[in-house]
Structure 1
Amino acid sequence: MNILLWHVHGSWTTAFVQGPHTYVVPVTPGRDPDGLGRARTFAWPASVREATPGQLRDTPVDLVVLQRPHELELAERWLGGRRPGRDVPAVYLEHNAPDGDVPGTRHPCADRDDLTIVHVTHFNRLFWDCGTTRAEVVEHGIVDPGHRYTGRIGRAAVVVNEPLRRGRHTGTDLLPALAAAAPLDVFGMRTEGLADHLGLPPDRCRTADLPQHELHAAMAERRLYLHPVRWTSLGLSLLEAMHLGMPVVALATTEAVEAVPPGAGTLSTRPEVLAEAARRYLADPAAAAEDGARARQAALERYGLKRFLADWERLITEVCA
């Protein structure tokens, strides 16, 4: 089966393309957001093929995986008039929690009979108003990076992209108080200048943007994973940290309360409780390793790649029948 999807979310796509199909990703000369092509820093199999908009016109496509509202028009145009959901089976994959007037947020694909909206978390399905459109949940799956945790560096790892721009969404305002409990290593895109922005000494808040294989190694050396995110769907970095065997200290918000079971870390809506948990892990490496091992086991059971791909195969079969 040929599946057309855009390279929007590198970590999610890395898991999805491990399936048994051919995955066609658009590529443009400038590799703009609508034509990034294959990933450069993620390991994707040879079954992922690039196609220019001109090539897509004559490419057989059995399923379109839409991820952004404008891709409906883009796909129809690039596929030579074939309409997703009408002429080609299609699903709309919703990565994000809704913004704005959250209890009443209507999904862009609400009230359609030609699409299935696939949410990556049950939290997403609960908060999006999809109207009469069929809505399913396929929870995340992770390509297992292995149990690599050492925790030898007495610091907390935080993974977030654009923390200055995203602000309260990602809990950036909470970092100064948490940095007082545990020095932070913040990994992600556009993290430069974060310590100055927060008024923190450089040694309490270091930043770096690493490719995934280097990121996993760096995370696993830190004593704990800190997830101060207020509002998101479910950060894949949290699940990757659990797979690595890291204990988790996270805000008890969104889907994190389902993903992190008791004994795998500390969840709370009180930042002072998170700060105390971070101090405890810094002082007790053995307890950190024990909780991290439980976090890994829980992540393998719920967010393993085999379950993820099986769920998608079931859904693809239904949609394309």
Structure 2
Amino acid sequence: MRVLLWHVHGSWTTSFVQGRHDYLLPTTPDRGPDGLGRARTWDWPASVVEVAPEQLADADVDVVVLQRPHEPELVERWLRRRPGRDLPAVYVEHNTPVGDVPDTRHPMADQDRVPVAHVTGFNELFWDCGRAPTTVVEHGIVDPGHRWTGELDRAAVVVNDPVRRGRSVGTDLLPGLARVGGVDVFGMRVDLLPDALGLGPAVLAVHEDLPQERMHAELARRRVYVHTARWTSLGLSLLEAMHLGMPVVALGATEAARAVPPGTGVVTTRAAELGPAVARFLADPDLAREVGSAGRRHALEHYGLTRFLTDWDRLLASVVADGSVP
């Protein structure tokens, strides 16, 4: 099957393109948001092919995977085909709703030809998708291996653009966590954090936009992973940390309680409990190892790559056959 999709979310796409299909990625000279092309910091297979927009009208495409509200218009303009009518399509909803939650209307809500595939059950529950058919295909991760050593008694956080995104990703919680024993923050545009929070490198160290392989190696050296997001979809960095065998501490928001069941980490809705939970893991490497190993077993079972790709194969085949969800 030849699948057209845009490079929007690098980590999710890394898993998605591990399947048995051919993947066409629109690519523009400036490699902007509508033409980013292949990843630079992830390892993608040769079946991911860059295609210029002007070549798409004549391209052999079996199905398009939409991810943003303006992409149906791009398909009509570049391929001269209408998603859901002239070309089978599915819309992946990566994000939690914004605006008037829980009454936020989904951009695909007023049609019934393109199913919406949510990446979490929480998203499906909270988005108002109207008459659009919906399904859930939970995340799957390329297993980085059980690499946790915990040799550094510091906490790790992964977050992109934390200064701009602020409370939604829990940036305000970092000073309190740093006082517990030091925090290393990984991600894009984290270099602005120390000045914004007024913290020195001894308690808040930042690691800017590392390649995935190197970031996994560095994360695994930290004693505990902390998921600070208040209102985002389930962060793949949390699942990656669990695959690495790291014990995790997470805010009890959105899908976290399902991703981190009892015995595999700490999930709490109390800000005051975050620091003590992190401190316990920092002080007890044996506890950290035990909980991290349990978390890895759960992550492999529920967020493994094979299940993810099987679910997507089933959905794509159904959409191509008759536009439905299985």
Per the normalisation by structure 2, the TM-score is 0.97
Superimposed CA distance per residue, residues 258-292 of structure 1 (whole angstroms, 9 cap, x where no aligned partner): 00011111110112211101111111011001100
2:49, 2:200 → 1: CA distance?
Answer: 46
In the TM superposition, 1:80-159 aligns within 5 A as 81-159=80-158
Q: CA deviation at 1:203?
A: 1.1
1:271, 1:211 → 2: CA distance?
Answer: 31
1:318, 1:182 → 2: CA distance?
Answer: 51
Q: CA deviation at 1:55?
A: 1.1
Tell me which residue corresponds to 2:71: 71
The 4+ residue runs of structure 1 with deviation greater than 3 A are: none
Tell me which residue corresponds to 2:276: 276
SS at match of 2:153: strand
2:112, 2:250 → 1: CA distance?
Answer: 38
Tell me which residue corresponds to 1:199: 198
Letter of the structure 1 residue corresponding to residue 75 of structure 2 = A
In the TM superposition, 1:156-235 aligns within 5 A as 156-209=155-208, 210-235=210-235
18-27 or 194-203, which moves further after superposition?
Answer: 194-203
Q: CA deviation at 1:180?
A: 1.2
CA contact (8 A) 1:178 1:271 kept: no
CA contact (8 A) 1:169 1:231 kept: yes
CA contact (8 A) 1:147 1:243 kept: yes
Could you tell me the percent identity over the aligned residues?
65
Tell me which residue corresponds to 2:254: 254
Superimposed CA distance per residue, residues 130-180 of structure 1 (whole angstroms, 9 cap, x where no aligned partner): 001000000000000000000001111100000000000001011111111
2:277, 2:245 → 1: CA distance?
Answer: 17
Q: CA deviation at 1:243?
A: 0.2
1:92, 1:243 → 2: CA distance?
Answer: 27
SS at match of 1:91: strand
1:199, 1:29 → 2: CA distance?
Answer: 39
CA contact (8 A) 1:38 1:48 kept: yes
1:96, 1:269 → 2: CA distance?
Answer: 21
SS at match of 2:202: helix
Tell me which residue corresponds to 1:263: 263
SS at match of 1:103: coil
SS at match of 2:250: strand
Per the normalisation by structure 1, the TM-score is 0.99
Letter of the structure 1 residue corresponding to residue 221 of structure 2 = E
Q: How many aligned positions are there?
A: 320
Tell me which residue corresponds to 1:29: 29
Letter of the structure 2 residue corresponding to residue 213 of structure 1 = E
CA contact (8 A) 1:106 1:130 kept: yes
1:47, 1:193 → 2: CA distance?
Answer: 37
2:148, 2:272 → 1: CA distance?
Answer: 25
Letter of the structure 2 residue corresponding to residue 126 of structure 1 = L
2:181, 2:168 → 1: CA distance?
Answer: 21
Tell me which residue corresponds to 2:237: 237
2:142, 2:192 → 1: CA distance?
Answer: 32
Structure 1 regions of 5+ residues with no counterpart? none
Letter of the structure 1 residue corresponding to residue 306 of structure 2 = K
Letter of the structure 2 residue corresponding to residue 212 of structure 1 = Q
Structure 2 regions of 5+ residues with no counterpart? 322-326
SS at match of 1:250: strand
Q: CA deviation at 1:189?
A: 0.4
Q: CA deviation at 1:193?
A: 2.6
Letter of the structure 1 residue corresponding to residue 195 of structure 2 = D
